[in-house]
Amino acid sequence: MKGIKTDGTAIQVMSVDDSAISRKMIKKALEPEGFVVCAEAGNGKEAVELYPKIKADVITMDVTMPVMDGLEAASAIKKINPGQKIIMLSAMGDDDIINDAKSRGIDDVYCKPFKAPELIERILKLM
Amino acid sequence: MDIKHINPFISGLLNVSGMLGLGGMQRTGISKREKLQTEHDVNIIIGLVGGLRGNVVFSMHEATACNIASTMMGGMPVSQFDMMPRSAICEMANMIAGNSVSNLEQMGSLVDITPPTLVSGKNMVSLISQVETLVVQFNSKEGPVELNIAIEE
Amino acid sequence: MSTSHIAPFVKSSVTIFKDMLGLEVKSGTTENEGDSFASRGFSVIVGFTGGWKGRFFLDMTGATAIQLASTLTGEEYSSMADEEVLLSGAELGNIISGNAITDINNTYPGLNLRLTPPSVFAGDDLSMFNVRLNSCSVLIDTSAGPIKINVAVEEGKK
């Protein structure tokens, strides 16, 4: 199972998206391969507040969210822990967004709709 | 949702109602939208983009829509919710949205609005947005009107 | 109304139907629809503004909506009025329009189209009316049932 590390523990993923359906789809894509979605947040502010209380190997982060968007939240989390791996999942894949993400040190931008096998590969690449 | 972003829409509706000669439009309540069912068969949706992003939906019964259209057309009787009252109601929604946007501009918030779309039907459920929706209730001589506001902030 | 407005939305829809929902898809012809149309019962609506101002609709029967929702979440639903069916419709509207707008913005720099959040309406005798907008429709035949793509844009814009 791709979501299990060599030491037998599961890869922990935090899922941040304002769409409950999107978060469900991420769980559906990752859990069968042994990943554990250890935390979820519905907007960037919730994600930043929750972050110090959890331990995630990778964060999947939507871009367009209310209160605080994903790019802002990713920057804030990187400030707390520059080594935190973050993948942006975005329905809008403008060059502007991709360049913005790069300039914030975000590790990957993957455009929605995501394909489960590719999402898994991209997460594993960051590990 | 910040009340300072809702007030411009409340003012917008009251201002335009006054301009159109609607009977004594006043706000009767404000609450969170709890359920998806709506018994309002006429809904006009206007989208917001820019300083604020979200959706605003005016909802009412068909009878109220016909009464409002009638008042807008100088008291001409409107018995069917056909093309003329539909256009009239959309124009009203557009005016309210435009007025609200001006109010927002005065507060320093630049907002762009989409053209209005009228959705009508029976036994409807609606999801205005994926974020919390507030419902502001109004009443007038023509009937009750609801202003549903869902703004991402 | 030029059919070039609807093309990116159709392209995006077909891609998502195939890749995300695993549907078999046969695209129909583009038709001018005028300012109103009768819904099949379940309609997802996304507005856009910027260089073009208008609306994008995904319209289908309740049965199709339920099927699409089940594909996304892996769960069963008995009614199109179920919150998760509405949310699934919204998510599809979000992704399809997001992809289409990215395509359009990258093709026409400076157009700067922005999207409203999606809204979803479902019911009986449902009809849509866009005042003063003409629209184009493409009916897409899918293995989950027919799905109509409709794009209405304000006259006088590109």
**Over the stretch C83-115, which tens digit does the pLDDT of each residue have?**
999 999 999 999 999 999 999 998 988 888 999
CATH number at residue C97: 3.40.1550.10
Would the CB atoms of B115 and C130 count as touching at under 8 Å?
yes
Task: Note whether residue A36 is domain-resident.
Answer: yes
Give the structural domain span for A58.
12-126
Task: Note whether residue A55 is domain-resident.
Answer: yes
pLDDT in tens, C4-57: 789 999 999 999 999 999 999 987 888 888 889 999 999 999 999 999 999 999
Task: Note whether residue C2 is domain-resident.
Answer: no
Coil, helix or strand at residue A77: helix
Q: What topology is assigned to B3-152 in CATH?
A: Chemotaxis protein chec (3.40.1550)
Would the CB atoms of C129 and B114 count as touching at under 8 Å?
no
pLDDT in tens, chain B (153 residues): 788 889 999 999 999 999 999 989 999 999 999 888 888 999 999 999 998 999 999 999 999 999 999 999 999 999 999 999 999 999 999 999 999 999 999 999 999 999 999 999 999 999 998 888 999 999 999 999 999 999 987
pLDDT of residue C158 exceeding 50, the answer is no
pLDDT in tens, C119-144: 999 999 999 999 888 899 999 999 99
| Residues whose CB is less than 8 angstroms from the CB of residue A29 and which lie 6 or more positions away in sequence, other chains included | A114, A116, A119, A120
pTM: 0.91
Q: CB-CB: which of C39, C116, C127 is closest to B48?
A: C116
Task: Note whether residue C105 is domain-resident.
Answer: yes
Bond into A113 cis (ω within 30)? yes
Task: Note whether residue A61 is domain-resident.
Answer: yes
Judging contacts by C-beta atoms under 8 Å, the chain B residues touching residue A18 are: 130-131, 152
Q: Tell which phi-psi region holds residue C41, choosing left (phi > 0), alpha (psi between -120 and 50) or beta.
A: left
CA C102 – CA C108 distance, rounded (Å)? 10
Mean pLDDT of C145-149: 96
> What is the total residue count of chain B?
153
Would the CB atoms of A19 and B131 count as touching at under 8 Å?
no
Q: Could you tell me if B144 lies within 8 Å of chain C, comparing CB atoms?
A: no
Residue C155 confidence (pLDDT): 63
Judging contacts by C-beta atoms under 8 Å, the chain B residues touching residue C123 are: 121-125
Q: How confident is the model at residue C2 (pLDDT cuts 50, 70, 90)?
A: low
Q: How far is B55 from chain C (nearest CA, A)?
A: 7
Q: CB-hemisphere CA count at 13 Å for A92?
A: 24
pLDDT in tens, A55-92: 999 999 999 888 899 999 999 999 999 999 999 998 87
Number of compact structural domains in chain A: 1
Q: Could you tell me if B113 lies within 8 Å of chain C, comparing CB atoms?
A: yes
Mutate to test the interface with C, among A26, A92, A96 (most CBs of C within 10 A): A92
All partners of chain A with 3 or more CB pairs under 8 angstroms: B, C
pLDDT of residue C1 exceeding 80, the answer is no
Residue B23 confidence (pLDDT): 87
| Residues whose CB is less than 8 angstroms from the CB of residue C147 and which lie 6 or more positions away in sequence, other chains included | C13, C17, C58, C59, C60, C64, C139, C140
Task: Note whether residue A29 is domain-resident.
Answer: yes
Coil, helix or strand at residue B126: strand
What are the extents of the domains in chain B? 3-152
CATH number at residue A102: 3.40.50.2300
Would the CB atoms of C120 and B119 count as touching at under 8 Å?
no
Task: Note whether residue C1 is domain-resident.
Answer: no
Give the structural domain span for C144.
7-154
A47 vs C111, residue with greater confidence = A47
Q: Is the dihedral of CA C67, A39, A113, C150 positive or negative?
A: positive
Number of compact structural domains in chain C: 1
